[in-house]
Structure 1
């Protein structure tokens, strides 16, 4: 797969990014470089290699989940730029 200027515009639109004309060339080159590197990784023989979910074998030490005092609603909403009764108001992001 090769990234074109049209593909870059689609990606920028989906990511809600503004890409200036002078940035397009270097971005296309950079994205194509990443894809080339990924193709090289796909050529590596990984037969017999167990898939990893974590890089190290360390295990997190977790504490017991115990209830603690909650932040009062009034205090939580005190610095909210917009609120509606007991909820934060945020702009709509999905059409």
Structure 2
């Protein structure tokens, strides 16, 4: 049988500073009971020869090597800019303005 009782659920609610109604206590008692039972079942089948995992699929690095390639010239970069000056993008000033 389970070790989860309504009194334990109320106590957990107090520790978590969650106000629980009687209906919530009743519902959570059953839900927590099922969770504890399922954890116990998993613990029964866990064997020491099976390594613990944090992810069901082995993770690998999917990034390419960081090698510089062909780069645009400053003229190519600025050719479609709405406004440019002195080899830079020109934008409306936003700092120091009154709003």
Into which bin does the TM-score normalised by the smaller protein fall? 0.5 to 0.7
Counterparts in 2 of 1:45 and 1:53: CA distance versus 1, 3 Å: closer
Q: For 1:31 and 1:23, how far apart are their aligned partners in 2?
A: 12
CA-CA distance at 1:25 after TM superposition: 1.1
Any unmatched runs of 5+ in structure 2? Answer: 64-99
Greater CA drift, 44-53 or 24-33: 44-53
TM-score, normalised with respect to structure 2: 0.53
Any unmatched runs of 5+ in structure 1? Answer: 63-95
CA-CA distance at 1:44 after TM superposition: 0.1
Higher radius of gyration, 1 or 2: 2
TM-score, normalised with respect to structure 1: 0.54
RMSD over aligned Cα atoms: 2.2
Specify the alignment match of 1:5 in structure 2: 6
Counterparts in 2 of 1:61 and 1:16: CA distance versus 1, 3 Å: farther
CA-CA distance at 1:50 after TM superposition: 1.4
| Deviation sequence 1:67-91 (CA, Å, 0-9, x none) | xxxxxxxxxxxxxxxxxxxxxxxxx
Specify the alignment match of 1:54 in structure 2: 55
SS in 2 for 1:50: coil
